[in-house]
Amino acid sequence: MRCKLSRWLLIAGILPALVVGCLGAETAGSHPVGWCLLALSVAYLAGVPLCGSMINALGILKSRASGSLWLVISGSLGVLLAAPVEHLVLPDILPAWDWLETVGPVGIAGGVALGAWAQAVRRTVSHAQVRTEQLVSLLQRGPYRAVRHPGCSALLLAALGVALGYGSAIAMAIIVCLLLPGLAMRIRVEERQMLELLGVAYRDYTGRTQRLVPGLW
């Protein structure tokens, strides 16, 4: 069921990817984040597994938080669409600091790289029969040594890169109102599942790591 859902999401994302690519191309001449959106769109349509890694890295177990999935999807698409549209048709709401144009591409690249890294580490437990010892081993490797949900961190980092890079107040509002609540809901459900499965080992793990951002939360 999870594989079918992931496949459906990837297929359904073709039209939004085309729109995002067009918006990226339209803004690329005046903003470097436009090139990032264009590159992501082309990679998605070409079948490069960047976005698949981002989707698959969002969780280890089958999540019962179906509502969180749609909040995360709508929040992510909202950021990708609203930020370039605001840049094209609305006056600047947030300060147009030059350094934000650098922060944007760095955040997007960092988010994609972190998502791919988390998915690469997770491949050993991606099959149907997940053994407890595999999960305990996973928690000692890669980005899981610092944060418990690196896939969520990756998505948030990339979304902030788009929003801040374009200086988009609307995209920032979407992150706060849709994306963050969706990620928080997903995290709450998955941590409950992991605690039921691993018990003391996972409780100890939560004591030495953060959920999304090292040193903060």
Question: For the chain, which residues make up each domain, given as ranges?
Answer: 2-208
Full-model pTM = 0.83
Quick one: pLDDT band at residue 79, thresholds 50, 70, 90? Answer: very high
Token pair 């000692």: residue: 140
23-53: per-residue pLDDT in tens?
A: 999 999 888 999 999 998 988 888 665 554 4
- State yes or no: pLDDT of 84 exceeds 70: yes
8 A C-beta contact, residue 147 and residue 217: no
* CATH number attached to the domain at 2-208: 1.20.120
Burial class from Cβ neighbours inside 10 Å (0-12, 13-18, 19+) for residue 17 reads buried
Token pair 């030495």: residue: 208
Region of 142 on the Ramachandran plot (φ > 0 left; ψ -120 to 50 alpha; else beta) = left
Burial class from Cβ neighbours inside 10 Å (0-12, 13-18, 19+) for residue 77 reads middle
Of the two residues 41 and 8, the one the predictor is more confident about is 41
Nearest to 183 by CA among 144, 152, 146: 152
Question: According to the model, what pLDDT value does residue 198 have?
Answer: 82
Alpha helix stretches (DSSP H) within 58-131: 66-89, 98-122
Token pair 């989707």: residue: 55
Mean pLDDT over residues 93-120, rounded? 84
- State yes or no: pLDDT of 132 exceeds 80: no
